[in-house]
A and B are shown apart, each in its own frame.
Chain A
């Protein structure tokens, strides 16, 4: 009968840096936590990420950015999802993000920010407890 709810996550790397080790580690880690992870690769623009998130109907968008452009790129994704009527998708971020920026990102609608060294389990638990969609 009805399958149990399977959490779907889109992992994306907006911006121009080419460091996707973190995104890959998290992709595999969340797979091992029983989630379906769609990996879209490097150098994605916010509008591409939004379209992919819509079509894949994900519960969570995970953004990784190491170039320093997160203050601009992350809120663009949140805004794009909202415009498309998918404001119920959780958006989380990671990468090299200064502590001072976190309140700003949260104010812009990013649900959580996880810095380098965060255990995958912690992120998985956060997703499971806070994913907004039923």
Chain B
């Protein structure tokens, strides 16, 4: 594919347009992903999650500056929510990253979550791969930051940074089984505010009590992103985590898991999409749907009627076969 060749040769315009295709789940996506596959594996993926307004964008901006000073190139994927009502979105993370606009070593892409309900758009994984193939040393992914549903990022990233602010003190209770477990690094940002030390201490205590695997103990850092305090230390912890992942073999294990997951997910999505199309065209099903809508029959019994109807299912399969 010509656009892929241009992107691999360094064209950011081509990269941008490929990202759009992946975002749109265009028919070319399998071909694109296939042709970039041999060029993957160089980048380290770092995910940033945590409550909105915690300073993730600013932290990403300052961290990018640290990485650039060391000569690394950076790709940034910044996510914001899609409106469930209009389908539109305001993507405002970029506003915090203005110092990098003219730097060819930094590529920033804003993404709306579109159909995804978690903090990460469905296409984000494909997009970070494109940035990897483009030759970026680090790919920083900033999630929407809605709290408990942020587990997607853990699966997509090599290092997950959870960014909290002192005001989040009380919410620690609620994240016992959520964010707390996915973090490889904790950051207490806006550390000049009251309660930062207390939150840091509380986190450390909780971590010490947990019995997770021991090759990596998540550190707790305090930062003031806006004043560029603590970002150098954050960079060093990311590097340290990367080395541990590599040395213990967990990085390649993780990549294996990711590949497996994507394989199954892609098949699942493809089948579901095609099946839904068929279902929409099926008169018998539409009739049941109408009865369910009117409340004449409950949704469970109605769906069992469909799922146990072998001729119906076989009809769909045959139609799938024909369309292929």
Contact = CB atoms under 8 A, between A and B. Distances in A.
A30 B101 contact: no
Nearest to A43: B98
B25 A1 contact: yes
B13 A52 contact: no
A54 interface: yes
Contacts of A73: none
Given A6-B114, A39-B95, A41-B98, A57 B16 contact: yes
Contacts of A31: 83, 86, 88-90
A117 interface: no
Contacts of A86: 13
B178 interface: no
B84 to A, nearest CB: 12
A51 B102 contact: yes
Interface string B81-110: 011011111111011001001100001111
A32 B88 contact: yes
Contacts of A35: 88
B90 A1 contact: no
A37 B19 contact: no
A116 interface: no
B88 A37 contact: yes
B87 A34 contact: yes
Most interface-central of A32, A36, A52 (chain B CB within 10 A):
A36
Interface string B213-234: 0000000000000000000000
A16 interface: no
Contact of A55 (B83, B90, B92, B109): B109
Contact of B110 (A33, A38, A47, A48): A38
Interface size class of A (residues with CB under 8 A): 20 to 34
A39 B16 contact: no
A57 B88 contact: no
Contact of A33 (B20, B23, B88): B88
A84 interface: yes
Contacts of A40: 94-95, 98
A3 B90 CA distance: 19
A55 B108 contact: yes
B175 interface: no
B97 to A, nearest CB: 10
Interface in A1-29: 1-3, 5-6, 8, 27-28
Interface hub of A28, A40, A86 (most chain B Cβ within 10 A): A40
Contacts of B112: 6, 36
A32 B85 CA distance: 8
A37 B25 contact: no
B115 interface: yes
B187 to A, nearest CB: 24
Contacts of B19: 57
A39 B20 contact: no
Contacts of A44: 98
12 contacts: A1-B25, A1-B273, A1-B274, A3-B23, A6-B114, A8-B20, A33-B86, A36-B110, A39-B91, A51-B102, A56-B109, A84-B13
Interface of A: 1-3, 5-6, 8, 27-28, 30-41, 44, 47-48, 51-52, 54-57, 84-86
Closest 4 CB pairs of A and B: A31-B88, A57-B16, A48-B101, A41-B95
